[in-house]
A = this chain, B = another copy of it.
Amino acid sequence: MSKKILWINPVGTDLFDRPIKDYLNEVKNSDTYLEVISFKRGPHHLEYQFYESLVGLDILRSIKLAEKDGYDAAVIGCFYDPFLSEAREISNIVVTAPAESSFAIAISLGHKFSILVGRRKWIPQMEENVIKYGLKERLASFRSIDMGVLEFQKRKEETEKRLITEAKKAIEEDGAEVIILGCTAEFGFYKKMEEKLGVPVIDATIAPLKYAEFLVELKKVSGISHSRKGKYEMPLTEEIKNWNIEEHYQFKW
């Protein structure tokens, strides 16, 4: 069952596009067509909430465009799951993001999970997401490796070392049975970590891609799709037209 999926790196650099595409091509379904994009402008990482707010419209534009272009799904490639809820509100395609997807996997792999982040600054907002998703009880802890998004792939050895160190503490001190890598730029480390740690390690790029494939598959065989009542109720085209939203925001509705 063919699936057309768009991976959005919601940042103003194409630095990660090629590596992530190559990386995900190894794990995607054979009949999945995968495209990876990033933005022409914008911050190179989303470590601050302000940076996220900058890329909001570009994310939503891409989602809407993906829908028009016949994509079955789009992945918002940042562990904050930025504008995931808004993306579902405005489109009928499947939209996934790393945190929610990782949790949808983690809940069947072990009792509690710990999330390894780059900086402690990320924790409050990510913890709010865990709470919002209703999964606080399954969270063992957050652990920070004190490195920035842009360092992970540049200093692989150090990153790996720290990830393993903090994961061990999470397992031994916090009771984690599953480790989640709390940043899409932490890709490429999970296998080595699993070997060293002996527990499952969820990769934040693989999780949302595979969860997207899963939801697309589910939709194709059974028709099920996200709810259009309540949280994801669709905005009104009439209002959008009346207010000239398309023109004022260069937004193709």
- The one of B127, B221, B227 in contact with A200, judged by C-beta atoms closer than 8 angstroms, is B227
A85 lies within 8 A of chain B by Cβ: yes
Distance in angstroms between the alpha carbons of A228 and B198 in the assembled complex:
7
A156 lies within 8 A of chain B by Cβ: no
| A230 with B121: CB separation less than 8 A | yes
- Contact partners of A96 in chain B: CB under 8 A: 108
Supposing A54-B245, A86-B50, A131-B137 touch, asked if A120 and B198 sit within 8 A by C-beta, the answer is: no
| B223 with A191: CB separation less than 8 A | yes
Distance in angstroms between the alpha carbons of A103 and B137 in the assembled complex:
15
The contact size tier of chain A is: 35 or more
Minimal Cβ-Cβ distance residue in B for A47: B235
- The one of B44, B124, B131 in contact with A231, judged by C-beta atoms closer than 8 angstroms, is B124
Query: A22-59, CB under 8 A of B: which get 1 and which 0?
Result: 00001111100000000001111000111111101100
Minimal Cβ-Cβ distance residue in B for A60: B53
A83 lies within 8 A of chain B by Cβ: yes
- The one of B107, B120, B132, B231 in contact with A230, judged by C-beta atoms closer than 8 angstroms, is B120
| B226 with A111: CB separation less than 8 A | no
Given contacts A100-B107, A109-B227, 20 further A-B contacts (CB under 8 A): A12-B243, A27-B221, A44-B239, A49-B85, A49-B86, A50-B60, A50-B235, A51-B235, A53-B57, A54-B249, A105-B215, A105-B218, A111-B124, A111-B230, A111-B231, A131-B131, A134-B134, A177-B231, A210-B218, A210-B221
